[in-house]
């Protein structure tokens, strides 16, 4: 038996079980946390995800839902997509966690413990839509570089925390403040301790919105590890990369935040539209702010066989970044005619809205049900791919499911 074979078979857990050792402070470990350096090969167990979730990448961990998994009004953890730019931090002690406010435009640099934040500031709960800027990337032509998300990198969970505004104002914001940038404890894939995997942010006007939270709970429980335990910045309606996980520092900046993945092609699109495949200079790229109007048909699952004469009840969600969705329609004839769905108002600003409709089919055959949402500015989802961009962001082309009448 060679050395490698031996190390294959022996593990920390095995040693612990041989020696009868208990894991010290085991009771303090957050749910979903594994002491084996997150090497557990089963991400579904490790992150408490449903087996139907799709793993796009295991280093770093990236996982998306399928449309039919997102049928709940409020997305439970098991169906929530996971997006990481670096390695998930380990050995988090919530009782030792601090958040520092600094930057050129902070009046008083301040550090708060997690307990301070919870005690000192009022708590708010909002349902907030978080969509990865690259959701739908897999459809771009020519293909765009990165994780090939299909439709499932979106969620709307219920987040509880304190308003970022209240904390920023407590530290004091100088009048020259234009942006905030977050810093977090995730680590770079290369292992370089001097590199941050991601450090993004939002303009000060977004940071000061009622719904922009420093959240410590998701769906009424501690935030799951993969989603930012113990403290996450949540900026609903914007690319989810602005909602920094494991946040331990917020910088109030007197210029656009220049952290990792704020420049180049990262989370930026050509300021002026370009032909597919164009080379775009960095100076011609603009930062994505609000996500565009979009919708998902979450019931039924694509592929339903229905008997002739039966009606089909469809439902799903629609969202529009900073805006509200004003109209939801469906088509069963490839976009030739559209019919209105019943659409609910959002629970709060930046929450996704639920729609449903009863669909009749005229005769046997193959159909596609297409969904199209329109926002309060009158912008609707396109039926083909929207403007091409180098990294394949902002694909809000209408969602389609296949149905056969038999």
- Residue from 57, 187, 219, 348 in contact with other proteins (CB under 8 A): 57
d(CA 185, CA 86): 10
Distance in Å, CB of 63 to other proteins, minimum: 11
Q: Using the rule CB under 8 A, is 383 a contact of other proteins?
A: yes
Closer residue to other proteins, CB minimum distance, 135 or 160: 135
Among the candidate windows 161-169, 177-185, 187-195, 352-360, which touches other proteins by CB under 8 A?
187-195
Q: Give one word for 49, left, alpha or beta, with left for phi > 0 and alpha for psi -120 to 50.
A: beta
Distance in Å, CB of 145 to other proteins, minimum: 6
- Residue from 368, 379, 380, 387 in contact with other proteins (CB under 8 A): 368
Q: Using the rule CB under 8 A, is 301 a contact of other proteins?
A: yes
d(CA 65, CA 398): 17
- Residue from 29, 304, 359, 380 in contact with other proteins (CB under 8 A): 304
- Residue from 29, 178, 280, 385 in contact with other proteins (CB under 8 A): 385
Closer residue to other proteins, CB minimum distance, 172 or 335: 335
Q: Using the rule CB under 8 A, is 6 a contact of other proteins?
A: yes
- Alpha helix (H) ranges present in 24-66? 43-46
- Residue from 22, 24, 26, 39 in contact with other proteins (CB under 8 A): 39
d(CA 227, CA 221): 12
Contacts of 380 (CB under 8 A, 6+ apart): 293, 327, 372, 373, 374
Distance in Å, CB of 152 to other proteins, minimum: 14
Closer residue to other proteins, CB minimum distance, 14 or 271: 14
d(CA 10, CA 20): 15
Distance in Å, CB of 143 to other proteins, minimum: 4
Contacts of 254 (CB under 8 A, 6+ apart): 103, 104, 105, 174, 176, 177, 178
Tell me if the bond preceding 60 is cis, omega within 30° of 0.
Answer: yes
Evaluated on CA atoms 122, 123, 127, 133, the torsion sign reads: positive
Among the candidate windows 73-81, 115-123, 184-192, 217-225, which touches other proteins by CB under 8 A?
184-192
Closer residue to other proteins, CB minimum distance, 76 or 387: 387
Site for other proteins in 81-140 (CB under 8 A): 139
- Residue from 13, 115, 256, 271 in contact with other proteins (CB under 8 A): 13
Closer residue to other proteins, CB minimum distance, 113 or 315: 315
Q: Using the rule CB under 8 A, is 36 a contact of other proteins?
A: yes
- Residue from 25, 58, 345, 360 in contact with other proteins (CB under 8 A): 58
- Full DSSP string of 91-157: S--GGG-EEEEESTTBSS-EEEEHHHHHHHS-EEEEEEEEE-TTTTGGG-SS--SS----S--EEEE
Tell me if the bond preceding 300 is cis, omega within 30° of 0.
Answer: yes
- Residue from 9, 27, 51, 363 in contact with other proteins (CB under 8 A): 9
Among the candidate windows 35-43, 169-177, 314-322, 356-364, which touches other proteins by CB under 8 A?
35-43
Judged by CB under 8 A, the number of residues near other proteins is 56
For tokens 């559209």, the residue is 338
Distance in Å, CB of 214 to other proteins, minimum: 29
Tokens of 44: 């579904």
Q: Which helix (H) or strand (E) holds 318?
A: strand 312-319
| Binding region for other proteins (CB under 8 A) | 1, 4-11, 13-14, 17-18, 36, 39-41, 55-60, 139, 141-143, 145-148, 188-192, 195, 264, 300-306, 310, 312, 368, 383-385, 397, 400-402, 404
């Amino acid at each position: 038996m060679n050395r490698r074979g031996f190390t294959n078979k022996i593990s920390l857990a095995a040693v612990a079980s041989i020696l009868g050792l208990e894991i010290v402070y085991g009771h303090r470990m957050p749910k979903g946390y594994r002491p084996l350096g997150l090497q557990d090969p089963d991400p579904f167990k490790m992150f408490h995800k449903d087996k139907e979730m799709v793993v796009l990448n295991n280093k770093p961990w990236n996982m998306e839902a399928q449309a039919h998994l997102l049928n709940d009004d409020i997305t439970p953890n098991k169906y929530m997509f996971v997006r990481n730019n670096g390695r998930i931090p380990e050995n988090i002690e919530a009782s030792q966690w601090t958040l520092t406010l600094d930057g050129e435009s902070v009046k008083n640099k301040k550090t708060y413990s997690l307990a301070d934040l919870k005690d000192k500031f009022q708590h708010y709960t909002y349902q907030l839509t978080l969509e990865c800027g690259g959701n739908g990337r897999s459809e771009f032509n020519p293909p765009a570089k990165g994780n090939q998300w299909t439709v499932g990198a979106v969620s709307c969970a219920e987040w509880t925390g304190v308003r970022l505004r209240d904390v920023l104002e407590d530290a004091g914001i100088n009048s020259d403040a234009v942006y905030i940038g977050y810093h977090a404890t995730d680590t770079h894939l290369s292992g370089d301790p001097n590199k941050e995997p991601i450090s993004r942010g939002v303009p000060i006007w977004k940071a000061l919105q009622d719904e922009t939270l420093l959240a410590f709970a998701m769906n009424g429980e501690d935030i799951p590890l993969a989603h930012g335990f113990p403290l996450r910045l949540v900026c609903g309606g914007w690319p989810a990369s602005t909602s920094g996980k494991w946040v331990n520092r917020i910088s109030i900046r007197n210029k656009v935040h220049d952290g990792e993945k704020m420049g180049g092609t990262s989370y930026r699109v050509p300021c002026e539209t370009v032909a597919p495949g164009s080379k775009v200079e960095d100076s011609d790229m603009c930062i994505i702010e609000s996500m565009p109007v979009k919708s998902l048909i979450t019931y039924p699952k694509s592929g339903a066989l229905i008997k002739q004469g039966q009606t089909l009840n469809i439902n799903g969600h629609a969202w529009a970044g900073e805006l509200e969705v004003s109209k939801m329609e469906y088509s069963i004839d490839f976009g030739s005619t559209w019919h209105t769905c019943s659409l609910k108002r959002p629970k709060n600003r930046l929450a996704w809205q639920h729609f449903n409709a009863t669909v009749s089919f005229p005769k046997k055959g193959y159909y596609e049900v297409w969904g199209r949402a329109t926002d309060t500015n009158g912008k609707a989802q396109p039926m083909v791919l929207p403007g091409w961009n180098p990294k394949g962001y902002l694909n809000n082309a209408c969602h389609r499911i296949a149905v056969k009448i038999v």
